[in-house]
Amino acid sequence: MSGTFSKLKNAYRLLQHIDFNMLAKLSEKVDLPKVIASVAQMNDNQLNGLLKMLGGSQGKKALPPIDGDFYNLGGKLNEEDRALQLKVRAFMEKEIQPLVNEYWLKAEFPFEIIPKFKELNICGVTYEGYGCPNRSFLMEGIIAMEMARIDASIATFFGVQSGLAMGSVYLLGSDAQKQEWLPGMQQLNIIGAFGLTEPEVGSGAAGGLTTTAKREGDAWVLNGQKKWIGNATFADVIVIWAKDVDDNQVKGFLLRKGTPGFSVEKIHDKMALRIVQNGLITLKDCRIKEADRLQQANSFKDTARVLRMTRAGVAWEAVGCARGAYENALAYTRSRNQFGKTISSFQLIQGHLVEMLSNLTAMQTMVYRLSEIQDAGQLKDEHASLAKVFCTLRTRDVVSRAREVMGGNGILLEYNVARFVADAEAIYSYEGTKEINSLIVGRAITGVSAFV
Ligand SMILES: Cc1cc2nc3c(=O)[nH]c(=O)nc-3n(C[C@H](O)[C@H](O)[C@H](O)COP(=O)(O)OP(=O)(O)OC[C@H]3O[C@@H](n4cnc5c(N)ncnc54)[C@H](O)[C@@H]3O)c2cc1C
């Protein structure tokens, strides 16, 4: 027992001398578990010598770990959930972090990550059957946070695939449609997208869609355009929401890649979420079989069921984005020296860090409770909207302070905060802007709708 303790103590002392960024860089170059195993075998003299080389000394107080989960919400998870959280974290740190800035700059999607992504087996987190993990909404939120903590674009890719696209089929498809699409989507062999927004209709989608669907025999003819559709440039199937010209109701259609009359143009020059491939879709007399109409989607109320389920996930994404920025900024302030001291020792810098952490902790506790409500089957639109508004607003504040405490380096991609600053802007607007989500909450608490 005491042998195990002294091994653990050695490893703990070593890790205290390595910050988050250094750890990420080291893990690319060396086999960290092996290094930790050999450190565990060292005697006190050998270990002290090593720590001295790393800039530590026995007299100097070890720095606290860098961890944005200040209230240890992760500690509330059961063993199985905690293991999955750490598995996703390891994937993001090992597979995504090293390539993310390069791809963000190129505005391309790193397709080479898909095989490792598949191994995580996390698509359709909360769904039952079709190979899906059937885990809690809390776990889904934690996965979104862990992804966005490293990169909000990859979190968005996942949100579109697992939430919006798979969710539409899962909630609104017939048994045959679920059988056809969900297992392949769960395995990421089939990539999905979700086409609701149009060039002229965003917030007003509920009543204002202009894309039309006309029933002709055993098929539907679709005409119109869809803008901002994530994954659309390479998706195998796109859920298209269109208004039935006969009954004026919104219906959902599973548009297969290569359908004649369908074309998509990549949206270039975005300043945020540059890895996400957003498309402008044009549908010109696109014929879709009745069998590919989502059989349980009969009005916009059904579309809203999908959005209600996924909006909570966007709040979690905002938390991840804030957490990544905070942790990187904290690490920076501990290594950057000015006036002969680390900038983390300055009161004004500590003030910023504490404001960031307060916001981050408030957000995390809020989304944690939100997921508990969702897991209890009691989630209402206004619950998800409140969290989406609060978290995306606070995230903007956190990322801007993170950038501020880093001075000029805060705007350089390589310091891993600038990307969060930009990406927070897109998360702030998609799946309902601040105004629209505020109006949903306003309607719930006043009983008066100010927008529809
Ligand atoms: C990166 C990114 C990815 C996206 N991915 C997808 C996707 O995969 N699929 C998809 O369908 N869509 C997607 N979207 C679209 C997104 O959901 C819309 O951008 C969003 O709903 C807002 O619509 P809009 O941009 O047309 O803004 P508008 O609706 O034109 O709004 C402009 C401004 O007016 C305000 N406003 C509008 N109505 C009111 C009102 N009644 N009262 C007060 N203020 C109001 C808005 O809050 C906003 O500030 C994506 C967007 C982005 C930026």
Q: Tell which atom from ligand 1 comes closest to the C-alpha of 197.
A: 11
Strands 237-244, 212-216: pairing is: parallel
Instruction: Give the pLDDT confidence score for residue 34 in this predicted structure.
Output: 75
Taking the centre of ligand 1 as the mean of its atom positions, its distance from the CA of residue 205, in whole angstroms, is 9
Q: How far is CA 164 from CA 160, 268, 274, in A?
A: 5, 23, 19
The domain defined by 192-300 folds into Butyryl-CoA Dehydrogenase, subunit A; domain 2 (2.40.110)
Q: Residues 213-252: pLDDT tens digits?
A: 999 999 999 999 999 999 999 999 999 999 999 999 999 9
Amino acid at 408: G
* pLDDT tens-digit map of 400-445: 999 999 999 999 999 999 999 999 999 999 999 999 999 999 999 9
Question: Can you tell me the distance from the alpha carbon of 379 to that of 393, in angstroms, rounded to the nearest whole number?
Answer: 21
DSSP code at position 267: P
Burial class (CB in 10 A: 0-12, 13-18, 19+), 138: buried
Give 73-186's CATH code, choosing from 3.30.565.10, 1.10.3720.10, 3.30.2130.30, 1.10.540.10: 1.10.540.10
Residue 175: CB atoms within 10 Å: 8
Is the CB of 239 inside a 6 Å radius of any atom of ligand 1?
no
Instruction: State the distance from the centre of ligand 1 to the C-alpha of 432, rounded, in angstroms.
Output: 6
In this structure, what are the phi and psi dihedrals at residue 282, rounded to the nearest 5 degrees?
-120, 135
Tokens coding 184: 């392949």
Kindly state if the Cβ of 273 falls inside 6 Å of ligand 1.
Answer: yes
The sign of the CA dihedral 231, 232, 236, 242 is positive
For 112-155, write each residue's pLDDT tens digit.
999 999 999 999 999 999 999 999 999 999 999 999 999 999 99
Residue type, 40: A
Q: Which of 268, 281, 402, 396 is nearest to 331 (CA)?
A: 402
pLDDT at residue 324, rounded to an integer = 98
Q: Is the pLDDT of residue 15 over 70?
A: no
Task: Tell me if 249 sits within 8 A of 218, measured CB to CB.
Answer: no
Tell the CATH superfamily of the 306-446 domain: Butyryl-CoA Dehydrogenase, subunit A, domain 3 (1.20.140.10)
Q: What is the mean pLDDT of the chain?
A: 93
Rg (CA), the chain: 24
Q: Does residue 298 have a pLDDT over 60? A: yes
Q: Which atom of ligand 1 is nearest to the CA of 204?
A: 29
Looking up tokens 């002290």 gives: 48
Atom of ligand 1 nearest to the CA of 270: 1
Kind of pairing between the strands at 192-195 and 237-244: parallel
CA atoms within 13 A on the CB side of 253: 28
- pLDDT level of residue 48 (50, 70, 90 thresholds): low
Contact predicate 351/420, CB 8 Å: no
Nearest CA to ligand 1 atom 9: 229
Mutate to test the pocket of ligand 1, among 274, 429, 449 (most ligand atoms within 8 A of CB): 429
Q: How far apart are CA 32 and CA 135, in angstroms?
A: 30
> Quick one: which atom of ligand 1 is closest to the CA of 230?
8
The predicted pLDDT at position 16 comes to: 63
Distance CA(114)–CA(184), nearest Å, equals: 13
The token pair at 267 is: 């949206």
Query: Residue whose CA is closest, atom 26 of ligand 1?
Result: 202
pLDDT band at 182 (very low <50, low <70, confident <90, very high): very high
The position carrying tokens 């801007």 is: 400
Residue 244 has phi, psi (to 5 degrees) of: -70, 120
Residue 57 has pLDDT above 50, yes or no: no
Q: Where are the domains of the chain?
A: 2-53, 73-186, 192-300, 306-446
